[in-house]
Each structure stands twice: as C-alpha cells, then as structure tokens.
C-alpha cells in the first residue's frame, strides 16, 4: 500500500518567498529535476561521489574527464541516467590552461595569433582576470570544435557540451573599443554586434553538425537566431539579470519561446545562487528558484555560491520530494496562462503542487 502524506497548500507569501508543497509518495520518481554546476576539481571521497550521483545533470570542467575520469565513471555507475556536460568557454582562453589540472587537457592547445580579439590599436583584449578574448572567427571556431571532438568527447564520458559565454554582441567589452575587421578603427556597435551574432551562429551550427553528442547547451543569451542549433541553455544567477531585465515573467515567457525553437531533446538549467555571499541557508532564494523550475518542462534546478565560485555540492530537503509528472500547464491565481509578475502561479503534479510568488509583495492563497 502506498503511503501518502499531505502538506498544507495554504500559505502566506512574503516578498520572494516561495515554497513547494506536495503529496510525498515514496514510490514516485520524477520532478524536481536537479543540476550541479561544479567547475572545480571533483572530490574523490565516497560521500561526495554518492551525493553528486543524486543529481540529474552535472556540468563539469572538461579536464575532469582526464584527471577525474574514474570519479565520473563511478558517478555514472551509481546513476546511469545522469547527464554529464563538458564545460568549454566559447570565446576566450584562460591562463589556467597552462597550469594543473587544466593543462592535462589544454596543454597542447594551439592558439593562432590571428584569433585574438583586438582593439583599434591592435592590442589583444581581456575583459576578465586571466581570460583572453578571441574574435570568434571561423578559424577559431573550427579549431575549437575539432579540439572538443578529438580531445574532450573522445574521453567517452560526456553526454553533451556546455558552451559558456555565448553573447548576442560584444560592444559591451573594452568600452566598445573593438576592431573586428582589423582596419585600425573602432567598429560601430550595431554592425559589430551583428557580425558577432553571425560568428556565434557559425560556432553553434557547426557544433550541431560536427559534434557527436546528444546535448549542446549554451550559457549567456536567448537571441532567437541562436536557438535552433542548441538543445537549451542555462539561466545563470536566476532570475538572470541580463535576461528581460531580470523580470520573472519575461524570463519565463522567453523560455517558452526558446522551447519552440530549440532542438530536441531539450534541457534548461535555472542556476540560482547566494549572489556570492555563501549563505547556503537563504531558503527563500533557493525555494524561489526551485519552484520556478517546476513551472515549465525540462528545467533542471541548481543552487550554489554564485558566479565567482561554482563548486558546491549542497543538498536540501526539498530535493528529496517526489512530485511525479506535471498534470497540466502552470496557471495564475486568476486563471491566466500568459506569465505576469503580479500573481501567484501554480502547477499541479501527480503528488503535489508547485507555487511561485514573483510579485514581491505578500499574497494569501
């Protein structure tokens, strides 16, 4: 006989406080779906390996397939359904590639001097400590894709590639002083950004055609022209401030639009975090992201320190909920299906319900 416990679905929502209230069914297996964005060196102790295996998706630095391949294989053995994505920056190199452990993979990476992003004086550009920007030319993209296929995917452990820093423009870098066509003159922002999107499209379309993987994910942008070549994206720092100005309804509406364009199978990650404070007990922030991930399909939830340190293995009681499958689309308190920020949103599951209050004010249901 199945034992079912019911938790009240009556709550007062204060600010961005959200919670997941559910029927808990010991025999159900489905939502919530969970991801971990872990870019440091993987731990080797059994407790950490066991915990990592409980996630549905791991996004891991690609060199871990060299130095921690045995750990990734142990995780796969514990959870054969887990999806492993290799993290690769799309438009930059990193000084750490010359150091251990990254040099175990990138030690023989051959950078052509013609591939650097340069300003109007011909100087190579770096917009982040230890990172060096590339120009996203076809030569760079072809080399990066070949390297990814031959040196990363050949490790035999990956289900997909996670391209980081996929942007819809580059004029925000170096105060706009960029010379993409190498004529010694600062490029016009509009034409510069349009050309950048073309170059990003080349990387992604060629990745789709040439990489032997099930998933290609991006982190950075939802511009429509990029979506057909990828299976989904990460929304870092959820609710992502550079996506629809951080508006919950704007992000959710944009995600639905992406779902109509993205290749299948589809996979999305809501990476909420502590905003680099390290306060792992910020349950309101965690629950807001978790419940939001349950409002639409194929979203995996991640919660960590922040964009300065994606390297935690935190686990919360709510992760153990067994909600089963969704029983329809999300709906607002007034019966609306077009996302807005003024109401509480609800989605029914087999064994519970997800509730989200994006309004920023207290609401009683």
- In tens, the pLDDT along 194-216 reads 999 999 999 999 999 999 999 99
Q: Inform me whether the pLDDT recorded for 77 exceeds 70.
A: yes
Q: How confident is the model at residue 137 (pLDDT cuts 50, 70, 90)?
A: very high
Contact yes or no for 257/222 (Cβ under 8 A): yes
* For residues 12-39, average pLDDT: 60
Nearest by Cα to 117 from 52, 42, 48, 195:
195
Q: Which domain holds residue 180?
A: 4-364
| pLDDT score, position 66 | 98
Question: Tokens 């031959």 correspond to what residue?
Answer: 150
pTM value? 0.92
Q: How confident is the model at residue 13 (pLDDT cuts 50, 70, 90)?
A: very low
Query: Between residues 11 and 86, which one has the greater pLDDT?
Result: 86
Q: 3-state class of 359 per DSSP?
A: coil
What whole-number distance in Å separates Cα of residue 318 and Cα of residue 22?
A: 10
| pLDDT score, position 28 | 36
Question: Tokens 């990650």 correspond to what residue?
Answer: 269
Q: 3-state class of 203 per DSSP?
A: helix
Calculate what percentage of the chain has a pLDDT beyond 90.
91
Q: How confident is the model at residue 11 (pLDDT cuts 50, 70, 90)?
A: very low
Contact yes or no for 322/299 (Cβ under 8 A): no
pLDDT in tens, 278-319: 999 999 999 999 999 999 999 999 999 999 999 999 999 999
Count of Cβ atoms closer than 10 Å to residue 144 Cβ: 23
What whole-number distance in Å separates Cα of residue 82 and Cα of residue 180?
A: 40
CATH value at residue 44: 3.20.20.70
| pLDDT score, position 30 | 81
Q: How confident is the model at residue 9 (pLDDT cuts 50, 70, 90)?
A: very low
Calculate what percentage of the chain has a pLDDT beyond 70.
92
DSSP code at position 262: S
What whole-number distance in Å separates Cα of residue 230 and Cα of residue 264?
A: 8
* For residues 118-127, average pLDDT: 97
Q: Inform me whether the pLDDT recorded for 259 exceeds 70.
A: yes
315: preceding bond cis by omega (within 30 degrees): no
pLDDT in tens, 47-59: 999 999 999 999 9
How does strand 215-219 pair with strand 160-164? parallel
Q: Inform me whether the pLDDT recorded for 15 exceeds 60.
A: no
Whole-number mean pLDDT of the chain? 93
What whole-number distance in Å separates Cα of residue 125 and Cα of residue 21?
A: 49
**The total number of structural domains that make up the chain:** 1
| pLDDT score, position 365 | 83
């Amino acid at each position: 006989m199945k034992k079912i416990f019911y938790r009240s679905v009556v709550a007062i929502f204060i600010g961005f406080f959200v919670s997941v209230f559910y029927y808990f069914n010991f025999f159900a297996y489905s939502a919530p779906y969970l991801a971990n964005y872990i870019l440091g060196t993987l731990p080797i102790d059994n407790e950490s390996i066991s915990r990592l295996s409980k996630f549905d998706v791991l996004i891991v630095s690609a060199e871990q397939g060299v130095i921690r391949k045995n750990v990734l294989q142990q995780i796969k053995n514990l959870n054969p359904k887990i999806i492993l994505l290799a993290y690769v920056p799309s438009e930059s190199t990193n000084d750490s590639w010359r150091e251990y452990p990254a040099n175990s993979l990138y030690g023989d990476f051959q950078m052509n001097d013609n591939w650097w992003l340069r300003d109007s004086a011909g100087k190579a550009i770096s917009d982040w400590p230890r990172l060096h920007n590339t120009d996203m030319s076809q030569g760079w993209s072809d080399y990066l894709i070949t390297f990814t296929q031959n040196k990363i995917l050949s490790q035999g452990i990956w289900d997909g590639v996670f391209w980081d820093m996929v942007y819809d423009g580059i004029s925000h870098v170096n105060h706009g002083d960029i010379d993409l066509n190498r004529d010694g003159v600062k490029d016009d922002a509009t034409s510069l950004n349009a050309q950048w999107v073309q170059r990003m499209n080349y990387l992604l379309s060629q990745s789709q055609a040439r990489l032997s993987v099930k998933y290609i994910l991006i982190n950075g942008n939802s511009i429509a022209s990029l979506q057909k070549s990828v299976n989904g994206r990460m929304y870092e720092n959820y609710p992502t401030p550079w996506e629809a100005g951080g508006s919950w309804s704007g992000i959710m509406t944009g995600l639905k639009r992406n779902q109509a364009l993205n290749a299948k199978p589809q996979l999305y990650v809501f990476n909420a975090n502590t905003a680099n404070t390290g306060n792992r007990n910020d349950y309101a922030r965690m629950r807001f992201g978790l419940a939001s991930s349950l409002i639409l399909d194929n979203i995996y939830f991640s919660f960590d320190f922040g964009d300065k340190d994606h390297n935690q293995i935190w686990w919360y009681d709510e992760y153990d909920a067994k909600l089963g499958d969704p029983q329809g689309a999300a709906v607002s308190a007034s019966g609306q299906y077009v996302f807005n920020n003024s109401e509480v949103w609800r989605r029914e599951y087999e064994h519970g319900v997800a509730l989200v209050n994006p309004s920023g004010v207290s609401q009683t249901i």
